Amino acid sequence: MNIQSARNINFKSGFNKFNLKELNTVPIEVVELYFRTNGVNARFKDNKTFSVINMLCAQILKKLRFSKNFEKLPFGTNPNSIRIFDKYELLNNLPDSFCTSISGKITIDNEIYKPRSLFFINKKTSFEEMNEMAEDAKQKGFISSDNFMTYIIHEWMHNVHLAYLYKKNGFNEKEVAKYIKKISKIEFNSTEKTIIQEELGEYVHHDGNINAMEVIAEGLNKIICSCLDENKLGINLSIDESVKKMPEKLINILQKILTY
């Protein structure tokens, strides 16, 4: 399974029987080996859907790794680890999916996870169900894209943003934590709030307020999903070409947060 350039795509996964069959034939062991050879500690248990989508995200972002509009964001950077978990394994009550911003213990095995580790709850969800969930959430104004990979791409965008923050702050965890706390206090005016709500949906809210970290992740998610073909798994646009399709005010908001 390999995503080529926009003009030479050799893997398609529109939601027809042939391509779904092809997606379902990818062994989880092959996906874990793919990540290990790329320096990522990945454990997917028996969750084929999440394993394959994470590999597709890695391949897509490797192809889309450069952007003039967001030149400091390392889109091709892989997370340190990816873990599928069951709720009972978590030490605390955490979301169904998240990206760690600092190192620490997350699960009952007391393993210390590095920053930029991705976690996903072990939902037995098919590719078709992921597609239906995304379409339904988009129609209800909850998320920015109806692409079947949207929720997982969102977490990868947290990883990309955090990779940027760590480089910007000298790879110092305390400084990154302070910076995240600082941007959580960014105030958005009424026009910005309207743009964020209309373009990104409810997913960017935390405790009833717009969260700047979520705005970045979902804003970049929208841009990446816009790069992809709507009917098959192919890259139609570069990141910069996708940015041109976005409302200028949304891009200005993203830049405002990144330069805060």
Could you tell me the CA-to-CA distances from 185 to 44, 152, 182, 227 in Å, in that order?
35, 26, 6, 31
Which element (helix H / strand E) includes 41?
A: strand 41-43
Measured between alpha carbons, how far is 162 from 177 in angstroms, rounded to an integer? 10
Residue 35 lies in a domain: yes
DSSP sequence for 54-122: HHHHHHHHHHT---STTTT--TTPPPSEEEEE-GGGBSS---SEEE-SS-EE-BTT-PEEPSSEEEEE-
- pLDDT at site 66: 93
* Main-chain dihedrals φ then ψ at residue 60, nearest 5 degrees: -60, -50
Strands 41-43 and 81-85, sheet pairing: parallel
- pLDDT at site 22: 72
* Main-chain dihedrals φ then ψ at residue 10, nearest 5 degrees: -115, 5
Residue 10 lies in a domain: no
Residue 1 lies in a domain: no
Residue 4 lies in a domain: no
Per-residue pLDDT of the chain (260 residues; tens, 9 = 90+): 443 333 332 333 344 454 667 778 889 999 999 999 999 999 999 999 999 999 999 999 999 999 999 999 999 999 999 999 999 999 988 999 999 999 999 999 989 999 999 999 999 898 889 989 999 999 999 999 999 899 999 999 999 999 999 999 999 999 999 999 999 989 999 999 999 999 999 999 987 899 999 999 999 999 999 999 876 677 899 999 999 999 999 999 999 999 99
pTM beyond 0.85, yes or no: yes
- Tell me if residue 13 falls in helix, strand or coil: coil
Residue 173 lies in a domain: yes
- Tell me if residue 230 falls in helix, strand or coil: coil
Take residue 138 and report the two structure tokens written for it. Answer: 């988009």
Residue 9 lies in a domain: no
Residue at 175: amino acid letter: E
Is 31 in contact with 52 (CB distance < 8 Å)?
yes
Structural domain count, the chain: 1
**Sole residue written with tokens 């995200």:** 57
Measured between alpha carbons, how far is 93 from 119 in angstroms, rounded to an integer? 13
Residue 113 lies in a domain: yes
Residue 12 lies in a domain: no
Which element (helix H / strand E) includes 210?
A: strand 209-210
Domain that holds residue 192: 17-258
Quick one: how many helices (H) and strands (E) in the chain?
10, 8
Measured between alpha carbons, how far is 8 from 150 in angstroms, rounded to an integer? 23
* Main-chain dihedrals φ then ψ at residue 29, nearest 5 degrees: -60, -35
User: To 5 degrees, how large is the angle CA 117–CA 56–CA 148?
Assistant: 95
